[in-house]
Amino acid sequence: MKLSILYFSKNGHTKEMAEVIASGMKSVQGIEVGIFDLEHIDDEFLAESKAVVFGTPTYYANTCWQIKKWFDESRNYKLEGKIGSVFATADYAQGGADTAILTIINHLMVKGMLVYSGGSALGQPFIHLGAVALKENFEQSKPMFEVFGQRIASKAIELFASKEL
pLDDT of 92 strictly over 90: no
User: Which H or E run includes 141?
Assistant: helix 138-164
> What residue ranges in the chain does DSSP mark as E strands?
2-7, 32-37, 51-59, 62-63, 83-90, 114-115, 131-134
CATH number at residue 149: 3.40.50.360
The pTM assigned to this predicted structure is: 0.95
Cβ–Cβ < 8 Å for 80, 124: no
Shortest CA distance to 100 belongs to which of 60, 136, 51, 128? Answer: 60
The total number of structural domains that make up the chain: 1
Range 42-67 average pLDDT: 96
What integer pLDDT is reported at residue 163 of this predicted model?
65
* 90: containing domain: 2-164
Calculate mean pLDDT across residues 4-26. Answer: 97
What's the whole-number mean pLDDT along residues 113-117?
97
Per-residue pLDDT band at 37 (split at 50, 70, 90): very high
Separation between Cα atoms, residue 108 and residue 16, nearest integer Å: 23
Answer whether residue 72 shows pLDDT above 90.
yes
Question: What is the reported pLDDT for 162?
Answer: 74
pLDDT band for position 164 (50/70/90)?
low
